[in-house]
Amino acid sequence: MHDADPADGSWAESLADFLLQQRGVEAIRLHPEQRTVQVATLGEVDTALLQARLNEVLRALDAKVLASKPAGHPDLGPVTLSREDDGVRLQMPSCPTAPRFWKWREFEWPEPEEIEARSREEWRAMAVQAAICGVALLTGYLLEKFGAAPAYLSRFLFGIALVSGGWDAAKDAWENLRERRLDVHFLMLAVAAGAVAIGAWEEGALLLFLFSTSGALEHYVLHRTHREINALTKAAPKLARVVLADGNTESRAVGLLRKGDLLQVRPAELFPVDAVITRGETAADESTLTGESVPVDKGLHAPVYGGTLNLWGLVEARVERPATQSALAKIIGLIQTAQHLRAPSQRFTDRFGTNYTLLTLATVLTMFLVWWLALGIPAFITTAEVKSAFYRAMTLLVVMSPCALVLSIPSAILAAIAWGARRGILFRGGAAIEKLAEVQVVAMDKTGTLTEGNLRVAKVESFPPGREDAILQLAVTLDAHSNHPVARAISRHAEERGIAPGELLEFESIPGQGLRGRSAEGVTYVGRRELVGQGDFASWLKDVPDAPLGFSEVWVLNAGAMGRILLKDEIRSGSKAVLQALAAEGVLTVMLTGDRRAAAVQVAQELGVADVRAGLHPEDKVTAIREFTAQGRKTAMLGDGVNDAPSLAAADVSIAMGARGSDAALEQADIVLMQDKIEKLLSARHISRCARAIIRQNLAISLGSVVIMAIASLFGLVPLTLGVLTHEGSTVVVCLNSLRLLFVREPDKPKA
C-alpha cells in the first residue's frame, strides 16, 4: 500500500526495481536539491559495487525530475514511497523494529563531470603533496650532508616532508580507525612515527614520499578510467522534444520519458533514448556506442539509440525503453560495475586487510621482545655497531607492509578496463580480463556473429502460389515488433515493396523458435520450420524441399495462408582471419547455430571453423557449452541474440557482439565488443594476456620483496633506509608497471 503522495512512475518504478534487486538494501532517501543519496543496508554489503549500481539508476534521473511535483499512481509492488521535507523515501516492507538495525550510508550523487574533475583533482593534489615531500626531503638531505645549514633547519624540512607525504594517508587511516579497521595507511604512519622516534627523520620522510607517490599513481589510473566513462556520459542528453496529441511539441526531461512516447528529433540533435523511427528518414552517427563514425541509414521502423547523433533528417520516433534501460546507460553501468567486480587473483590480495595488519603488528611486537629480552639487544639505543630492537622492529614493519601487494592487481585491472573502453571493448570486471587469456574453446553463433547479420530477402514463396504479398504482410506484422536481424531484413523488404505491418492484438516471442501473434487475420506463427511443422503440417512439410544452400528460411503460418521467406546473409569480412588467428593459438573454434546443417557447414568450410553443431535450440547450445566445460576446457561463447543468452550464461567467458545486440545477450555478457567487429575479440584477448602477465609480474615483485626483506630483517641484515627503498620502491614499480597497459598497442588487423 502506498502513501497518499506518490511520485511519478517513470522514475519511482526504476528506484523500486533497484530496491527489489539489491540484496541487503532496505530503503533509499533522495534529496535532489542537496544532491545527496542515503541508502539503508542490513548486514554486510559491498558498498563500492552498490554505488556503481545505484549510479546506473540515478544517472538518468536529473535532480529537477526528482524534485518535480509528483503525479500518477505508479505500481511499485511491495515498495512503499513517501515524501519527506526536501526529498523522497522508498522503503521495502519490514517489521516495526527492523529500521533500528539498519545502517544508513551516504553515497555520491552520480555527476560524471564532477566525478572526473574530483578524481583529476585528487591525483593532482596527491602528486603535488608527493612533490613537496620529495623537494623538502632532498633539500633537507643535502643541507644535512654538506653541513650548509643548522641541524634544526634540516629537521624542519624533514618535518615538512613528513606532513605533506603523510597527509592523505592520515585522512584514510583516521576514517578506517573510526570504523575500527586497520590498513596499510596506519602501518605507514606508524613506521614514519617510529623512525622519527629513533632519530631517523630522513628514512621516515623517504617512506612517506614513496608511499604518497605510489598513491598518486594509483589515483591517476583511476582517473583515466573515470575519463573514459565520462566520454560516454557526455553523450546522454537531458531534454527531449515530445510530440503531443494535438501535433504540438513540448520539452520534457529525459528521465520522465515512457515507452510509447512520440519524440521529434531535428538534424544535428542527439536521440534522447532508444527508440524506433515512425516518420521520416535520416542517418545516425553511432560512434558514441560503437566507435565507428560511418553514418548508419535510418528509415521507417529502424532502431535508434540514446546518445547517438541525428545527422540530417527531421524524424519522429517512438520510445522503446526509458533512459535508465537504454543501451548507453547499460554500457556506462557495465564499465562502472566492472571497476568493482574483483578478479580471482584480486580476491587473494583482499586477505591482506585488517587481519594481515594485525598479524604484522603482532609479529613486529613479538620480535621486538625477542630482540630485547631474549637476545639482549638494547631496546631504543642505536649505535654504529648495534641497531636497537626498536629500530629493527620498525624495519620489519616496513618490509612486511603489503602496499605493493594490495595495489598489484586492481591497478592492472583498472588500466586494462580503461584501455578496452577507449577501443570499444567493455570488460565486465576483472574476472573477464583474467579468464579470456585462458580460454581454450571459442563457441560462436552464426547469424550476426560470424556473418554480417544484414540479411536480405531473396524470395517469398506461398503454398499454393499467388499469395506472396499476403505472406509478407503477415510476417512483417509480427517482425515489426522484433529486433532480430531476420525480422529487420523482412521489415526492410516489406517497406521497399510498400507493404505496411498490420495491427497486432497479441504478441509473443518464442526464444529459439520464432514469433506468435494475433491480428485481424487470426493467429500467425513466424519462425523456424520446426515451429510450424506440427500436427497435420508435419507430414506435408516433409515434401517441401529445404532452402537452397546458403539461404535461410522463415516460415509463416496462418489459418488463411502458408509460405516461407528465403533470406541470404553475407559472411563478415574479418571472420576468416580471426578464426585462423585463434586456430594458430591452439584455440578450438565451434559454431553453434539454429540454422540447417547444410547452410551451417557451407559457412564453416568457407571460414575454417573446426566444429559445427547446427539445428540447435537454446538449451542445446547450453548443453554443448557444458560439454566443453565438463572436459576441463575454459570456454568462451560469442553471440548477439536472445537465443544466445542461456549459452552466454553457461560459458566461462561470455562475449556479446555490439551494443546493438539483444538486451538479454548484453545482460549476460562479461565482455561487449562495441564496434560489432569480430576482430575486436583478438584485441580483447591480447589485452587480457598482457594484463595477466602484468599481474603475475606485480605479484612476483610485491611478494618477493616482502618475503626476502622480511627474512633478512629477522637477522638484522637490513637497514631501515634499504627497507624503505625496497618496500616503497616495489610499490612504485608495481603502479608504473600497471600503467604500461594504458600504452599497449592494439594488434594489427589479421589477414586471411
Residue 741 has pLDDT above 50, yes or no: yes
Strand 249-253, strand 239-243: pairing: antiparallel
pLDDT of residue 697: 94
Q: What are 621's three cell numbers? A: 547450445
CA distance 556 to 204: 79
Clarify whether 86 is annotated catalytic: no
Residue 688 has pLDDT above 90, yes or no: yes
Contact status, residue 717 vs residue 673, Cβ threshold 8 Å: no
Peptide bond into 410 cis (omega under 30): no
> Residue 243, Cβ neighbours under 10 Å: how many?
18
- Three-class secondary structure of residue 218 per DSSP: helix
Reported as a pLDDT band with limits 50, 70 and 90, residue 64 is: very low
Average pLDDT over residues 588-599: 84
Cell numbers for 6, please give them: 506518490
Model confidence at 171: pLDDT above 80: yes
684 pLDDT exceeds 90?
A: yes
Supply the DSSP string of 300-319, one letter for each residue. TT-EE-TTPEE-S--EEEEE
Q: Given the residues 183, 274, 445, 595, select the one marked as catalytic.
A: 445
Name the band, by pLDDT with cuts 50, 70 and 90, for residue 74: low
How far apart are the C-alpha atoms of 355 and 517, rounded to whole Å?
A: 60
As given in the structure block, the three cell numbers for residue 646 are: 542461456
Largest CA distance in the chain: 107
Q: What is the C-alpha to C-alpha distance for residues 225 and 248, in angstroms, rounded to an integer?
A: 42
Cell of 497: 515493396
pLDDT value at 242 more than 80: yes
Q: In the beta sheet, which residues pair with residue 107?
A: 37
User: Which tens digits make up the pLDDT trace of 313-355?
Assistant: 899 999 987 776 666 666 665 555 544 444 444 444 445 556 7
Q: Is the model's pLDDT at 226 over the cut of 70? A: no
Would you give the DSSP letter of residue 448?
I
Check whether 232 has a pLDDT greater than 70: no
- pLDDT for the residue numbered 5: 35
pLDDT tens-place string over residues 10-46: 566 667 777 776 777 888 887 766 667 888 887 777 6
Rounded to 10 degrees, the C-alpha dihedral 365/368/372/378 comes to -130
More confident residue, 623 or 448: 623
Q: What's the whole-number average pLDDT of the chain? A: 79
- Given a cut of 90, is residue 446 above it in pLDDT? no
What pLDDT does 666 receive?
Answer: 62
With 0-12 CB in 10 A as exposed, 13-18 as middle and 19+ as buried, what is 530? middle
Range scoring the smallest mean pLDDT among 228-242, 361-375, 671-685: 228-242
User: What is the rounded distance in angstroms from the CA atom of residue 285 to the CA atom of residue 311?
Assistant: 7
**pLDDT tens digits for 522-549?**
899 998 887 777 666 777 777 788 777 7
Nearest to 672 by CA among 287, 275, 327, 286: 327
- The band of 735, judged by pLDDT with boundaries at 50, 70 and 90, is confident
* 480-493 residue pLDDT tens: 887 677 888 888 88
- The pLDDT assigned to 60 comes to 52
Percent pLDDT > 70 in the chain is 79
Asked whether the bond before 464 is cis by omega within 30 degrees of 0, the reply is: yes
pLDDT at 9: 44
Secondary structure tally for the chain: helices H, strands E: 26, 27
Taking each helix axis from N to C terminus, what angle separates 327-338 and 47-58, rounded to the nearest 10 degrees? 170
22: closest CA among 2, 39, 5?
A: 39
Cβ neighbours of 149 (radius 10 Å): 15
The per-residue pLDDT for 367 is 92
Lowest-confidence region among 35-39, 204-208, 459-463, 732-736 = 35-39
Under 8 Å between Cβ of 472 and 493:
yes
Q: What is the band of 451 on the pLDDT scale with cuts at 50, 70, 90?
A: confident
Four-residue CA torsion sign, 648, 654, 657, 663: positive
